[in-house]
Chains A and B, each alone.
Chain A
Amino acid sequence: MYRYDEFDRRFVDERVAEFRDQVERRLTGALNEAEFKPLRLMNGLYLQLHAYMLRVAIPYGTLNGRQMRMLAHIAETWDKGYGHFTTRQNIQYNWPKLKDVPDILEALATVEMHAIQTSGNCIRNITSDPFAGVAPEEIEDPRITAELLRQWSSLHPEFTYLGRKFKFAVTGSEHDRAAIKVHDIGIQIVRGEAGEVGYRVLVGGGMGRTPMIAKELRAFLPKADLLPYVEAILRVYNLHGRRDNKYKARIKILVHETGIDAFRDQVEREFATMDRAAVTAPEGEMERIAAYFAPPELTEKPSAPVAFERMKTLDPDFAQWVERNTSAHRVPGYVAATISLKPIGGVPGDATAEQMRAMADLAESYSVDEMRITHEQNVVLPHVALGDLYKVYRGLAAIGLEAPNKGLVTDIIACPGLDYCALATARSIPVAQAISKRFASNKRQREIGPLSIKISGCINACGHHHIGHIGILGLDKAGVENYQITLGGESTEDAALGQRLGPGFGYDELPDVIEKIVDIYLDLRQGRRETFLQTYRRVGMEPFKEALYATAD
């Protein structure tokens, strides 16, 4: 994985020292809140409902055992012993004290981590495919591109104060696990006509109060042109994007109002006339970065080792977990194992320090010292030999993280909502917990098949409700929590925004409502292989509407 060079190290150390000084000046009163707020936000520090909240970047979601241990150490030393993994592949601490934050940042810097670009109107932490470097169908590891973009964006003075936050996602596979179509810029690594590697560039996707699916800006961009091209996009955005209205300031609005063709003309014009050489990555830089992401040397192994097969027969729970939570690896005899942070009734994405350490142990022993955080708020051990899988499973069971529910109805995404978040209009975590308990039975979950429920506690959509097969948006209606439901959202290559079912439901009604939606699906599906999303796309909203609203008085 990527290691800091001297430059990165100095940059982060300087930022920590600078922020320590700023916090000191804040505590002595030399800086007031109006002066301090933008400074703390540039260092990932928010003020939430009950406390400050520190958001730590995990670039493209990749981290090693040492880093995960440090996250555990921070949780225990300066927080309440746990952290929350987010849909942006980051981690949030919910209880840090202002005076401790410089120490936390200093501790993070010792393991090459920081909280820069996790907040504010800048280019945010760049997200990627949790199966990067693993997926058999991948063209190239997307983290190389993500890292190049990270370096370009971290140091770019022109783009530190954008009109609004700006999010990139990169995938190296046709099958999109990075939700690139709901990002400001989505990048897909593709092959050109002659088989050369380049990029397909999408622009103008996003969620929030005005959700949009990104549009194609360029079907094929030669690899070397990446930085000048995205810089051209950012320049057009910086020039024409609205700054008068926060809600209209994202690039998706500009693209939508300008029209994709006119927007493309502007970008291409900028691209044609700019000094590209000044922006292009220096010769050899891509290779330098790529070397950090060189695939680990794994020796091919039998694809069905005897002991592994035997354990599956002896322990049916293990067999279920293998079936649900492991994914194909490009090297025979290995899989990527997903650790679900969604135990039945748990808080989606939360992990205690003890669990973090145990995951770090497992990664070090059985996954070439690597982990990935997913935008579904789970953790992936990317390189596990089949022969080691039972040990991994037992290790997870010991810390309560062996739920065999990846991609199933209880693998619920939920933002912190009104239990933590100052912007929330309703709670999301207890809603997730109630639904999770309702569908606790493994048998039933497997019967239902792939189904993603995503919950946000307000219109900002951190819980990605727009792209959940079932989306739940918590609102406040005259002081009462009210939940709007959308159906048919999807995050992958055939991304779609969910459509509203109808009037919202009360907090207590939700588990019943979700169960009803699921039952209607089970009733209507044409055979077990038709997924919820396929059924919805075939039958549309009507049958669901009818069943849910017709019977109500």
Chain B
Amino acid sequence: MAKEFKPSVVTANDLIEGDSVFLGALGWVRDIAEARVALSRDEAEVLEADGVAGEDANIVVGPYLIEVSVATGRPVPVLRRERIRVSGVPTIPFGVAAPAERRAA
């Protein structure tokens, strides 16, 4: 049996900046809240094709579909990996913030 369909968005890395981007109504956006959400398999196929077009146009790298939950209105990825990507940063204080926080602790 085919896997149950879950709402999905298309994500990729920006070609120049390298950060996570999402396919929105008018192009690639950095806030997943503005991402187009596919609610059916057919919509997902269209979305995916649009993502690939973004790679062909050299705007993004490696587009792929991720499953999201839309319970709160804002799409939240199902997988931890994608949630971390969406946040745009590690789950821990990093770089110059890291040692300072440790000293304060």
A contacts, CB < 8 Å to B = 26-27, 29, 32-33, 47-52, 80-82, 94-99, 343-347, 350, 352, 354-355, 399-400, 418-420, 424, 427, 429-430, 433, 476, 479, 481
What's the nearest-Cβ distance from chain A to residue B31, in Å?
Answer: 15
Flag if A50 contacts B89 (CB, 8 Å): yes
What's the nearest-Cβ distance from chain A to residue B20, in Å?
Answer: 7
Q: What are 26 A-B interface contacts by the 8 Å CB criterion?
A: A26-B58, A29-B57, A29-B58, A32-B58, A33-B55, A33-B61, A49-B85, A50-B20, A50-B85, A51-B13, A51-B18, A80-B94, A80-B95, A94-B94, A96-B18, A343-B99, A343-B102, A346-B102, A347-B94, A350-B95, A350-B98, A352-B96, A354-B96, A418-B80, A430-B91, A430-B92
A interface majority secondary structure? loop
When the two chains form the complex, which single residue of B15, B78, B88 contacts A98, counting CB atoms closer than 8 Å? Answer: B15
Contacts of A420 in B (CB 8 A): 90
Contacts of A345 in B (CB 8 A): 102, 105
Given contacts A51-B17, A479-B78, 7 further A-B contacts (CB under 8 A): A49-B81, A50-B19, A50-B89, A80-B94, A344-B102, A418-B81, A420-B90
Q: Which of B66-105 contact A (CB under 8 A)?
A: 78-81, 84-85, 88-92, 94-96, 98-99, 102-103, 105
When the two chains form the complex, which single residue of A49, A97, A354, A433 contacts B16, counting CB atoms closer than 8 Å? Answer: A97
When the two chains form the complex, which single residue of A97, A99, A400 contacts B102, counting CB atoms closer than 8 Å? Answer: A400
**Is B62 on the interface with A (CB-CB < 8 A)?**
yes
Cα-based distance from A32 to B61 in the complex (angstroms): 9
Q: Mark B1-25, 1 if CB is under 8 A from A, else 0.
A: 0000000000001011111100000
Flag if B91 contacts A47 (CB, 8 Å): no
Flag if A51 contacts B84 (CB, 8 Å): no
Flag if A27 contacts B91 (CB, 8 Å): no
**Is B56 on the interface with A (CB-CB < 8 A)?**
yes
What's the nearest-Cβ distance from chain B to residue A77, in Å?
Answer: 14
Cα-based distance from A429 to B84 in the complex (angstroms): 14
Cα-based distance from A26 to B56 in the complex (angstroms): 12
Flag if B16 contacts A82 (CB, 8 Å): no
Contacts of B20 in A (CB 8 A): 49-50
Contacts of A47 in B (CB 8 A): 13, 18, 61-62
What's the nearest-Cβ distance from chain B to residue A369, in Å?
Answer: 25
Cα-based distance from A99 to B91 in the complex (angstroms): 27
Cα-based distance from A497 to B61 in the complex (angstroms): 38
Cα-based distance from A335 to B92 in the complex (angstroms): 35
When A and B form their complex, which 3 residue pairs have the shortest distance between CB atoms, in order from nearest?
Answer: A419-B90, A52-B18, A82-B95
Please judge, given known A-B contacts A47-B61, A97-B16, whether A347 and B92 are in contact too, CB under 8 Å: yes
Contacts of A33 in B (CB 8 A): 55, 61-62
What's the nearest-Cβ distance from chain A to residue B64, in Å?
Answer: 11
Q: Mark B37-57, 1 if CB is under 8 A from A, else 0.
A: 000000000000000000111
Cα-based distance from A355 to B15 in the complex (angstroms): 31
What's the nearest-Cβ distance from chain A to residue B94, in Å?
Answer: 6
Cα-based distance from A125 to B46 in the complex (angstroms): 44
Q: Which residue of B lies closest to A27 (CB)?
A: B16
Q: Which residue of A lies closest to B98 (CB)?
A: A347
Flag if A82 contacts B56 (CB, 8 Å): no
Contacts of A80 in B (CB 8 A): 94-96
Contacts of B85 in A (CB 8 A): 49-50
When the two chains form the complex, which single residue of A82, A97, A343, A347 contacts B18, counting CB atoms closer than 8 Å? Answer: A97
Q: Which residue of B lies closest to A51 (CB)?
A: B18
When the two chains form the complex, which single residue of A81, A82, A354, A429 contacts B92, counting CB atoms closer than 8 Å? Answer: A429
Contacts of B99 in A (CB 8 A): 343, 346, 352, 355, 399-400
Cα-based distance from A481 to B91 in the complex (angstroms): 14
Flag if A419 contacts B96 (CB, 8 Å): no
Contacts of A94 in B (CB 8 A): 94
Contacts of B102 in A (CB 8 A): 343-346, 400
Flag if B95 contacts A479 (CB, 8 Å): no
Flag if A352 contacts B18 (CB, 8 Å): no
Cα-based distance from A26 to B55 in the complex (angstroms): 12
Please judge, given known A-B contacts A49-B85, A479-B79, whether A82 and B96 are in contact too, CB under 8 Å: yes
What's the nearest-Cβ distance from chain B to residue A217, in Å?
Answer: 40
Flag if B18 contacts A98 (CB, 8 Å): yes
Flag if B16 contacts A99 (CB, 8 Å): yes
Contacts of A81 in B (CB 8 A): 95-96
Cα-based distance from A28 to B15 in the complex (angstroms): 11
What's the nearest-Cβ distance from chain B to residue A161, in Å?
Answer: 23
Cα-based distance from A51 to B57 in the complex (angstroms): 19
Contacts of B92 in A (CB 8 A): 347, 419, 429-430, 433
